Structure 1
Amino acid sequence: MDSIYSSTDDSSIPLTERFSSKRTRKRKSAKLVSSKSAAQEGPPVGEVSDFVDITPTTTARPRKVAAPGKIPDDDTRDSNVAVTKPAPTPTSSTRTITTPTAPTASAPGPSGPPPNTTSSPKPPPIHIQEVGDFEGFCRALDALVGRDGFFCKARMHEIMITPSTPDAYRQIIKYLTEGKYAFHTYQIKTDRAYRVVFRSLHHRTPILEITRDVEEQGHKVRGVTNALHPRSKMPLPLFFVDLEPAPNNSEVFNIHRIFYTEVRVEEPHKRSDIVQCTRCQQFRHTKSYCNRPPRCVRCAGEHDSSTCSKSRETPATCALCGNNHPANYRWCQVYKALQKATTNF
């Protein structure tokens, strides 16, 4: 029995008719869709085609103008319009090349030549043995040179005073000498003599003749001393000649004859040992700037060594350690300890 909805087998339909019927159904569905859209939009204008026209209209939205220095966004960007980026502003990392200019010479001012900035050398310190009234001593120096004219440093058995100026140094030295204080100091550099050595000169040459011959060459002699052997104390054929500081001091090396003798002038060798005072027998200063009580080098008595009445046969007594040797003995335990401390320092 045949069904009302009988199905038709596509295999029995020819191939050409099968594709044509499919195209017909697609066209009918397209017309149905277009008619529905036309009914919603309004009455059709002209004939409706089977194909939808997707060509864009010539009417476009007004393009937004971007602010100066700002890149337009997607809505305002146009592929046909070239976007010009503003020039970058220089930052701190941007290198700026500048052409150096030649310095202009300034005319000298009306103030005259520049002031002399050469400072005078500082005066040496003054070492004073312990004073009884330290407050009264400082007030006396304050009244003499002023509060800024000196300063003190206290040590174990002495007070070290450092003057501020050479004038203050001389005034303090005068005050200490008149007050009979026990102290020692050093020579000011500006007052230091220019020392040279005259070799090959007989030790019996008169000092007055040496002084006269040197001064005839245009120099001012401060002192002449015959050198002695450090151990035997025998006179040596050389003299130390001290000249007053002058611009022509170096010309003394041109002298070749002194009192019928051919001599050679040299600079003195630097001493490697520790200097010892022949007045108080202490170290690191000389008798020329020592105002301490005298001590004998042989008997340790409180008198000058030149006035000692002790015989040569009597054993000596050291003024430093008390042993049986002179105070200038280089194997003295005080000297050896000081030498070791100086070497290690």
Structure 2
Amino acid sequence: DDILPDGFTKVKPRKTRRNKTDTTGFPPLPPPKSQSETSHSTASDSNKQPVPNLSVTSTPSTSQVPEDTTAQPPRKVRVTPIVLRDASRWRGVNHKFISLGIKFERAVAVDAGIRIIPKSEDDYRRIIRLFREEEVPHHTFPLPSERNIHAVIRGVHATLSEIEIKEELQQRGYSPLHIIRLKRGGGVPMPLVVVILPKVEKSQQLFNEHELLGLAIRVEVQKNSRLIGQCHRCQKYGHAQSYCTAPPKCLKCASDHMIHLCPQTEQEERKCANCGGGHPANSRTCRFAPKKNLEVIAQRRNVSYADAARDATRAAPSVGSSANTQNVDLATALRSLQQIIGPLISATQALQAIFPANG
């Protein structure tokens, strides 16, 4: 300390200590008590009743929680459903299942008939085999393990035929089931080909191909169109013709035959197989047509749902391909021309008989 001339001592002010941040995560320790305070607190604590610990036990952190090493149950795989189209045959079919030991998860009544969920893929195959042997009308879908591979080949010129493409793929070791040339509106072919292959390891190698018949190509997985498909056999929505054995319905007249056997001409009135209205079964104006299809079309055209529905109402529903329509128009024109030329030929022959040409 500094001593002043008057004999006084200069006292320096003490600096206040700031609480340092405790990095240990524990609360600071209290200052030590004196001996008198310790004896007083000990005497007072002996007279107090013990207080139960009501504090909530803190949950340990995630890093301290032991991992659950127990094996999780395998995820249940849902088997492809089968729809019995004739609901009146369900009792007989159910008795047949019991006698043959065919198991199913449940059977639900739906608009199309009875929807059956098999217990396993083996039960699915046994039901399909039984329905085919007994000629039970039904429709179903392919098993995930048996679904074909759909590939799109870009860059295939329109002059190349499907037969040439199929033969080239077969020479490379592939087994194409179908080759489909994509076309624009009006039947104009595009440089795009859809190839359907069986689900085998070799088929996956097609996506690594970059050349076909001397042309540079690009192979892609076919994207889902998001449209609800329509069966070309029974005209119902939600399944395909290749997995349907229901009685056939004509697209144009709703009779019990396929469309290529229909005797109707293009000028005759149509009848819907779904609602009975005066339009083909594939008309978007039908009340049974899925609304989701119009929503997808509206998104693709970047228009409102009302505009898409209005366009579908104004547009003439498509019954056959444009090529078939052109063939019908050409045949009608030829018949009309024959009716005009026939009398002229007869008149010419009569004139030649009256006025023979000079030799």
When residues 175 and 233 of structure 1 are mapped into structure 2, their CA distance, relative to the original with a 3 A threshold, is farther
> 2:79 — aligned with what?
123
Q: 2:260 aligns with which of 289, 296, 306?
A: 306
Contact 2:150–2:194 under 8 Å retained in 1: yes
Contact 2:147–2:199 under 8 Å retained in 1: yes
When residues 173 and 234 of structure 1 are mapped into structure 2, their CA distance, relative to the original with a 3 A threshold, is farther
The offset of 1:324, in angstroms, is 3.2
Equivalent runs, 1:17-28 vs 2, <5 Å: none
Q: Distance in 1 between matches of 2:89 and 2:189?
A: 47
TM-score, reference length from structure 1 = 0.59
> 1:280 — aligned with what?
234
> 1:169 — aligned with what?
124
> Secondary structure in 1 aligned to 2:226?
coil
Equivalent runs, 1:218-229 vs 2, <5 Å: 219-229=174-184
When residues 311 and 203 of structure 1 are mapped into structure 2, their CA distance, relative to the original with a 3 A threshold, is farther
Contact 1:185–1:285 under 8 Å retained in 2: yes
When residues 141 and 261 of structure 1 are mapped into structure 2, their CA distance, relative to the original with a 3 A threshold, is same
Q: 1:180 aligns with which of 132, 135, 138?
A: 135
Q: 2:164 aligns with which of 209, 232, 257?
A: 209
Q: Over aligned residues, Cα RMSD in angstroms?
A: 4.2
| Cα deviations by residue, 1:202-251 (Å, 9 ceiling, x for unpaired) | 4453434323433555544333222344x545544322112222446554
When residues 261 and 163 of structure 1 are mapped into structure 2, their CA distance, relative to the original with a 3 A threshold, is same
TM-score, reference length from structure 2 = 0.57
Contact 2:90–2:114 under 8 Å retained in 1: no
Q: Distance in 2 between matches of 1:145 and 1:191?
A: 24
| Cα deviations by residue, 1:94-132 (Å, 9 ceiling, x for unpaired) | 999xxxxx9xxxxxxxxxxxx998668432111112343
> 1:295 — aligned with what?
249
Which has the larger Rg? 1
Q: Which amino acid aligns with 1:163?
A: P
Contact 2:175–2:197 under 8 Å retained in 1: yes
The offset of 1:294, in angstroms, is 0.9
Q: Distance in 1 between matches of 2:76 and 2:167?
A: 33
When residues 125 and 325 of structure 1 are mapped into structure 2, their CA distance, relative to the original with a 3 A threshold, is same
Q: Distance in 2 between matches of 1:217 and 1:93?
A: 78
When residues 150 and 140 of structure 1 are mapped into structure 2, their CA distance, relative to the original with a 3 A threshold, is farther
Contact 2:104–2:116 under 8 Å retained in 1: no
> 1:56 — aligned with what?
none
The offset of 1:310, in angstroms, is 2.0
Q: Which has the higher helix share?
A: 2
When residues 136 and 176 of structure 1 are mapped into structure 2, their CA distance, relative to the original with a 3 A threshold, is same
Counting aligned pairs with the same residue, the percent is 26
When residues 300 and 269 of structure 1 are mapped into structure 2, their CA distance, relative to the original with a 3 A threshold, is same
Q: Which amino acid aligns with 1:182?
A: P
Q: Distance in 1 between matches of 2:145 and 2:277?
A: 41
> 1:134 — aligned with what?
90
Structure 1: state its 5+ residue gaps: 1-78, 97-101, 103-114
